[in-house]
Chain A
Amino acid sequence: MSLPPLIAAKNLSVHYALRGGLIGPKPYVGAVENVSIEITAGSFFGLVGESGSGKTTLGRAMLRAAPISKGDVLFNDGEVSYSLKNLGKKDLKDYRKRAQLIFQDPYAALSPRMTVRDIIAEPLEVMGLTKSRAETDARVREIADKCRLNVEHLRRFPHAFSGGQRQRISIARALVSGPKFIVADESVAALDVSIQADVLNLLKAIQEDMGLTFLFISHDLSVVAHVCDHVAVMYLGRIVESAPTRTLFAKPRHPYTSALLSAIPSLDPDDRGTAQKLEGEIPSPTNPPPGCKFQTRCPHAIDRCRVEEPVFESAGIEHNVACHRWQELSI
């Protein structure tokens, strides 16, 4: 990429220890293994994959909300430059202002005992960003207005709001500290299609308006196609393909990407059953298969795939893929 990345993962691994293993090396789950991605400032970066692929863990590691076991995450917004692996307490507090998270479930993410005003104001108070109550109120109103919340309703409690409005409240809370980088983890998955369209449009508008950088985690490829500039596909803790949205959807190189694409139900009632179906399920990360992690379900797997793990290599401009056979397969 030509522009310098705002945030980049360098050979990042996140391991969680497992019980047992008194003798020999400690057993662990590799939730994220050797992942390198660069997210350009001002981009909308999509991260897709099935449940259990490690999308959420990667997102959290980039917020320093998951432990970094190997590798590093580098953040540089022009004002500060951090290596997240070795972040001191003071710097970590500062990083929290600059990087924020929007959750999936707007019903679980908001405290039912706090008013909307208090929910949105809390980050300001915790981080000590405002000096007086009047300043806090002004900032809350400004951000609420930006998120198209009715400022007259700020004294109400979350139960009085619908799912879409609640999600706008969570967005306002994430934006209030003036962050540069936002991780949106399945932020529209729990919403009806009409409200989903509304929240996606809002996120895009805010991103352009405030110059934000998004890591947009989703299992829904059609949503990702509509909002993201660049998409990375994850499988069992690894990135298997990464490309600009158009390229990825027009010319997927990895068999997993193309299987995901063809599994999306078509809106055409006459286009039934033509899809190539993926057999089986994602293996457990506690016991990953040898070689390519996708070989157990891949229709194109050969002997080499079962022993040797493919490297993540360039397959075009900004297009990377980890597959032994991407060149010979025309999928």
Chain B
Amino acid sequence: MSRLIDVENLTLQFDTDEGRITAVDNVSFSLEAGEVMGLVGESGSGKSVTAKSLMKLNPRNAVYGPETKITLHLENGPVDVMSLQNDAEMKIVRGGSISLIFQEPMASFAPAISIGEQMVEQLLIHTDFSKAQAKELSIEMLDRVGISDPATRFSQYAFELSGGMRQRAMIAMALSTKPKLLIADEPTTALDVTIQAQVIDLMKDLVTEFGMGIIFITHDLGVIAQTADKVAVMYLGRLVEQGTVRDVIRRPAHPYTRGLLAALPTLDDIDAPLTPIPGDIPSPLERPPGCVYNTRCQEIIGPRCAAEVPQFSQVDTNHAAACHLHDPKEGDA
């Protein structure tokens, strides 16, 4: 496998009326081609903002940290995403080498333009296809994602399609430019479980076929277990645990990951009590000092948790957690 993207020290803040808030705090990860990374966390943990910043798709009040470095490795050499300035330069990244699938497929298609026209439009921007070639490829992609009668669907509008169908069309559109990296932001959350299973299968097939990397954002650990090769767990803008999907789900090393798993209803033991994580995720305006999770953590080891930001320490090969539990020092309880 070859390296696809390197994200180093990604920090992103927003200037708001209430002050400057930190949405992403010193996040680093990398992804190989053909690899699926699950990004998990509660609402407000910064998952979507992180993913969108890989193509600098953030509002104007966004301020990137000076240390932030995002490198996309393309065939013609590495691209430093942070150095891209205007929309014209961003074109190779946005919709070109990186595609994004949103959570709500109804909201991501323009309602008054046919599905086909929208698919053709982006192909004309990103490839040197003629209109006829673009149409041909679009219909082929609709067929590929399992939409029956693709030629008819091509000229229909978003409201004429069901939720599952729309999400398939969205995937067809995102993949038609042959991106190197696909960011799927909660792509199955709005779907019924039977349709979710179909969409997950489809995405797995496509990874194998196209060999692209996928960042799969979801709050559903079951979906992660079924799709991802590795997992990154996020809390209040920071990564707290990273590892292979087996390690993270079977041997969670960070108290937050353990909390998420304990709160999850599973069918294996329907009598097991559901254990919520106490308290709510703090407002980004009031980020706790030290470990961001210390206000809710059940495994506090001492005053260090509220004073010192834990660094990632290796708990196994390819498995690391940012928690003082794994980096004990004198004076801890």
Task: List residues of chain B with CB within 8 A of the CB of A275.
Answer: 197
Q: Does A86 touch B at the CB level, under 8 Å?
A: no
Task: List residues of chain A with CB within 8 A of the CB of B201.
Answer: 273, 277
Given A201-B274, A270-B246, are A264 and B193 neighbors across the interface (CB < 8 Å)? Answer: yes
Shortest CB-to-CB span from B208 to chain A, Å, is: 12
> Are A263 and B193 in contact, CB atoms less than 8 angstroms apart?
yes
> Are B43 and A163 in contact, CB atoms less than 8 angstroms apart?
yes
- Partner-contacting stretch, out of B53-61, B133-141, B169-177, B214-222: B214-222
> Are A260 and B194 in contact, CB atoms less than 8 angstroms apart?
yes
Which of B43, B204, B221 is close to A267, meaning CB atoms less than 8 Å apart?
B221
Shortest CB-to-CB span from A262 to chain B, Å, is: 8
Q: Does A109 touch B at the CB level, under 8 Å?
A: no
Task: List residues of chain B with CB within 8 A of the CB of A269.
Answer: 225-226, 245-246, 249-250
In the assembled complex, the Cα of A222 lies from the Cα of B250 at a distance in Å of 19
Q: Does B1 touch A at the CB level, under 8 Å?
A: no
> Are A197 and B280 in contact, CB atoms less than 8 angstroms apart?
no
Given A193-B219, A197-B276, A225-B270, are A272 and B226 neighbors across the interface (CB < 8 Å)? Answer: yes
> Are A263 and B277 in contact, CB atoms less than 8 angstroms apart?
no
Q: Does A79 touch B at the CB level, under 8 Å?
A: no
Q: Does B288 touch A at the CB level, under 8 Å?
A: no
Q: Which of B198-216 contact A (CB under 8 A)?
A: 198, 200-201, 204
Q: Does B237 touch A at the CB level, under 8 Å?
A: no
Q: Does A87 touch B at the CB level, under 8 Å?
A: no
Which of A194, A221, A277 is close to B42, meaning CB atoms less than 8 Å apart?
A194
Task: List residues of chain A with CB within 8 A of the CB of B281.
Answer: 162
Q: Please, which residue of chain A has its CB at the minimum distance from the CB of B193?
A: A263
Q: Which of A222-242 contact B (CB under 8 A)?
A: 222-223, 225-226
Q: Does A268 touch B at the CB level, under 8 Å?
A: yes
Which of B193, B225, B264, B270 is close to A193, meaning CB atoms less than 8 Å apart?
B264
Given A272-B226, A278-B194, A281-B195, are A193 and B263 neighbors across the interface (CB < 8 Å)? Answer: yes
Q: Does B284 touch A at the CB level, under 8 Å?
A: no
> Are B196 and A263 in contact, CB atoms less than 8 angstroms apart?
yes
Q: Does B127 touch A at the CB level, under 8 Å?
A: no
| Chain A 235-257: CB-based contact to B (< 8 A → 1; otherwise 0) | 00000000001100100000000
Q: Does A259 touch B at the CB level, under 8 Å?
A: yes
Task: List residues of chain B with CB within 8 A of the CB of A225.
Answer: 265, 267, 270
Q: Does A130 touch B at the CB level, under 8 Å?
A: no
Task: List residues of chain B with CB within 8 A of the CB of A76.
Answer: none
Q: Does B96 touch A at the CB level, under 8 Å?
A: no
Q: Please, which residue of chain B has its CB at the minimum distance from the CB of A195?
A: B276
> Are B225 and A265 in contact, CB atoms less than 8 angstroms apart?
yes
From B43, B196, B197, B245, residue with most partner A Cβ within 10 Å: B197
| Chain A 181-224: CB-based contact to B (< 8 A → 1; otherwise 0) | 00000000000111111101100000000000000000111110
Q: Does A83 touch B at the CB level, under 8 Å?
A: no
In the assembled complex, the Cα of A36 lies from the Cα of B268 at a distance in Å of 30
From B164, B192, B266, residue with most partner A Cβ within 10 Å: B192
> Are B270 and A245 in contact, CB atoms less than 8 angstroms apart?
yes
> Are A194 and B223 in contact, CB atoms less than 8 angstroms apart?
no
Q: Does B162 touch A at the CB level, under 8 Å?
A: yes
Q: Please, which residue of chain B has its CB at the minimum distance from the CB of A245?
A: B270
Q: Does A164 touch B at the CB level, under 8 Å?
A: yes
Which of A162, A246, A264 is close to B280, meaning CB atoms less than 8 Å apart?
A162
> Are B192 and A265 in contact, CB atoms less than 8 angstroms apart?
no
In the assembled complex, the Cα of A245 lies from the Cα of B267 at a distance in Å of 11
> Are A226 and B270 in contact, CB atoms less than 8 angstroms apart?
yes
Q: Which of A64-123 contact B (CB under 8 A)?
A: none
Given A193-B219, A268-B225, are A222 and B267 neighbors across the interface (CB < 8 Å)? Answer: yes
In the assembled complex, the Cα of A279 lies from the Cα of B198 at a distance in Å of 8
Task: List residues of chain A with CB within 8 A of the CB of B204.
Answer: 273
Task: List residues of chain B with CB within 8 A of the CB of A198.
Answer: 276
In the assembled complex, the Cα of A201 lies from the Cα of B272 at a distance in Å of 12
Q: Does A154 touch B at the CB level, under 8 Å?
A: no
Q: Does A261 touch B at the CB level, under 8 Å?
A: yes
Task: List residues of chain B with CB within 8 A of the CB of A163.
Answer: 43
Given A201-B274, A269-B225, are A263 and B197 neighbors across the interface (CB < 8 Å)? Answer: yes
Q: Does A165 touch B at the CB level, under 8 Å?
A: yes
> Are A267 and B280 in contact, CB atoms less than 8 angstroms apart?
no
In the assembled complex, the Cα of A221 lies from the Cα of B246 at a distance in Å of 24
In the assembled complex, the Cα of A207 lies from the Cα of B261 at a distance in Å of 25
Q: Please, which residue of chain A has its CB at the minimum distance from the CB of B190?
A: A51
Q: Does B275 touch A at the CB level, under 8 Å?
A: yes
- Closest 6 pairs between A and B when the two form their complex, measured CB to CB: A265-B222, A198-B276, A197-B274, A197-B276, A197-B263, A50-B192
- Seen from chain B, the residues whose Cβ lies within 8 Å of a Cβ on chain A are 42-43, 162-165, 192-198, 200-201, 204, 219-223, 225-226, 245-246, 249-250, 259-261, 263-268, 270, 272-277, 280-281
A-B contacts besides A194-B276, A219-B192, A219-B193, 18 pairs, CB < 8 Å:
A192-B219, A193-B219, A193-B260, A193-B263, A194-B42, A194-B263, A196-B274, A197-B264, A200-B265, A201-B274, A246-B270, A260-B194, A263-B193, A264-B267, A265-B196, A267-B261, A278-B198, A279-B198
Q: List 29 A-B contacts (CB under 8 A).
A: A50-B192, A164-B280, A193-B263, A194-B42, A194-B260, A194-B263, A194-B277, A196-B263, A196-B274, A198-B276, A219-B193, A221-B193, A226-B270, A226-B272, A249-B267, A260-B194, A265-B200, A265-B226, A266-B222, A267-B249, A267-B261, A269-B246, A269-B249, A272-B226, A275-B197, A277-B198, A277-B201, A279-B198, A281-B164
